[in-house]
Structure 1
Amino acid sequence: MMPEIAIAERAGVGADGHPRPTEDHVVVLDNAVLVLDGATSSEPSQPPGGWYAERLARRLAEDLHVAPEADLTEVLTSAIAALTAEHRLQPQRSPSSTVAAVRWLEDRVDALVLADSPVVGFGGFGVDVVSDDRLARLRRRGMLQTGADVRRRRNAHDGFWVAEADPGAAAHSVRRSWPRADVEAVLLASDGVSIGVDQYELFDWREVLAVSRADGPDAVLAAVRTAEKQDPDGERWPRPKRHDDQALVVVDFESGVIQGLP
């Protein structure tokens, strides 16, 4: 039986502080969910991160529809390669995207994370946070101060890995598999949501799941936005934008409907 899937999304603001369309993309398949968070290149001639995330999400969805049990790393490698070739993207000069994927099969649930969109599993194993903290570590160490810093460390062994124009980045994804019978629920989040746990400390992941079940996942997004409105200039929580895009998906293996899709 398909799990219950609840989705919440909110657009943030651009670097100039003005509203603009979200660059997060959520895709629901028969046995998988994808969350991608696009990042715009500093090259003005390149399309925005949302353009890249949308096309990569579409390619991943097509490939997983054809081969629903395929290895997730191989699927991501192929999708990045296809997008790079089709649009002649160049490493270090192209838009990019995080990737969070959850796929359920008869005997297991698989998770893949590339860059800072975490997946969180709940079940007999406790709470298992599947996260890629390489970006966060670099930021804490002050190593991503400029656009040049980001370009130099993107998809580099002393930096961080993200979907862009190097298919080899997929091999650096963080992976997890859980026995299907042990999984109660799984969350996928973009960093506009996970910041509420990791930086603002508004709640932990168990509380995120509890709030989502009680009031819907948009209640979690609202709590993060409320905190940001109380710190509009980033004095308490320094951040590049007042509000980032937000996407939160709850995959609950106790029932079987989809909420939040248009």
Structure 2
Amino acid sequence: MHVSFASVAGSAHKPNEDFLAVSPRVALVLDGLTSPPELGSGCIHGTPWFVSRLGTQLLREATCRPEAPLADCVAEAITRVADLHRDTCDLSHLGTPSCSVALVREGADTVDHLSIFDSVILLDGPRGLKVFSDLRVDGYAQQEHKETTRHRIGTPEHQQAVSRLVAAQRPHRNVPDGYWVAAANPAAATNAVTGSVPRAEVTRAAVLSDGASCLAEDYRLTDWAGLLDLLEADGPDELISRVRQAESTDPSGERWPRYKASDDSTAVFCRFDGTGSAGG
């Protein structure tokens, strides 16, 4: 598996809450969920602390336990990170630090994948392109979401609408019949979107935070195949540059309503050789 990647913060004034990690057979992207300060989180560490530790544990588990199901690896990683701050933070708080997870692992015969929340995995090959994500959150707080689109990014009204949206979503987070994020509850792993594709059916793949997938998913400036072609030809940095160029033409979100002018953007591109052996 040959890998290239890039990650760029959405703002020069805030830390990047995305995280990526790769090994010869594993690629993963985490996208931290921003918590409006007025809603609190119950944690003294913050989202960047959480995603970096969870990502590190995930890479370790998925790499060192190649025969273990990815859901088991994610559950163990979530538990390990929760144990790191269980004594100092309120992990039952609805706003406890959390993130999406998108994870791909190359095996001898299959390419396994796992998605929690809205990051995107693309697997492409002789039998066509497959898209994996977890958008169950879209079924909740729809009225509050619509309200965010009524206001220009950067206005107090927009920020207040986003806070109301997050507050309305939180009671449905990580509960039965709700939607799932990676936080402190390992049950998120058993509720993830998982699957396997025969190794021979994958020639290239991408693992994307929604700040990178938006070029196709939200802005519709290309399709998924075009996004993969861009990654393959020009690399992840160029994909993120295209996203930033689009956003710069619509800073207030009138053409593309969204929660912030620019989001953290992370893209990992994987190219698979014909043998299934690890590449450099």
* TM value normalised by structure 1: 0.89
5 Å-filtered alignment, 1:233-244, equals 233-244=252-263
Of 31-40 and 152-161, the range deviating more from structure 2 = 152-161
In structure 2, the partner of 1:57 is 55
Q: Which residue of the partner structure matches residue 150 of structure 2?
A: none
Offset at residue 139 of structure 1 (A): 5.9
Residue of structure 1 in register with 2:154 after alignment: none
1:210 and 1:65 map into 2 onto residues whose CA distance is 28
| 1:109 aligned residue | 111
**Residue of structure 2 in register with 1:67 after alignment:** 65
Q: Which AA in structure 2 matches 1:237?
A: W
Are residues 1:6 and 2:4 paired?
yes
Aligned length: 252
Q: Contact 2:58/2:73 (CA < 8 Å) preserved in 1? A: yes
Q: Identify the match of residue 24 of structure 1 among 14, 18, 21.
A: 18
The answer on 1:77 being equivalent to 2:75 is: yes
Q: Secondary structure at the match of 1:122?
A: strand
Change (3 A) 1:139 1:242: farther
1: distance between equivalents of 2:222 and 2:138?
Answer: 19
CA offset digits 1:3-62 (Å, max 9, x no partner): 21110211112xxxx622211111111311111111244416523222111110111122
Contact kept in structure 2, 1:39 and 1:50, CA below 8 Å: no
- Asked if the contact 2:104–2:114 (Cα under 8 Å) also holds between the matched residues in 1, the reply is yes
1:192 aligned residue: 211
Structure 1 contact 39–48 (Cα < 8 Å) conserved:
no
Which of 119, 122, 126 does residue 121 from structure 2 map onto? 119
AA aligned to 1:39 is: L
RMSD of equivalent CA atoms: 2.0
TM-score for both structures, normalised by structure 2: 0.84
Q: Distance in 1 between matches of 2:205 and 2:166?
A: 34
2:27 corresponds in structure 1 to 33
Compare 197-206 and 44-53 and name the one that shifted more. 44-53
The 2-side partners of 1:212 and 1:220 are apart by 6
Question: What are the ranges of 5 or more consecutive residues in structure 2 without an aligned counterpart?
Answer: 146-161
Q: How does 1:150-229 map to 2 (within 5 A)?
A: 150-229=169-248
- Contact 1:217 1:248 survives alignment (8 Å): yes
Any idea what the Cα deviations from partners look like across 1:136-162, whole Å, max 9, x if unmatched? Answer: 343655468433213212112343200
* Number of the residue aligned with 1:128: 130
- Maintained 8 Å contact 1:37/1:50: no
Give the match for residue 151 of structure 2. none
Partner of 2:155: none
Partner in structure 2 of residue 90 of structure 1: 91
Q: CA deviation at 1:135?
A: 2.3
Aligned residue for 1:221, secondary structure, equals helix
Whichever residue aligns with residue 13 of structure 2, its letter is P
Query: In structure 1, what is the Cα distance between the partners aligned to 2:177 and 2:144?
Result: 14
Equivalent-residue separation in structure 1 for 2:5 and 2:142 (angstroms): 30
The SS at the match of 1:94 is coil
For the residues of structure 2 that align with 1:200 and 1:52, how far apart are their CA atoms?
29
One-letter identity of the residue aligned with 1:182: E
> Which structure has the larger Rg over C-alpha atoms?
2
SS in 1 for 2:227: helix
What's the % identity of the aligned pairs? 37
1:43 corresponds, among 35, 40, 43, to 40
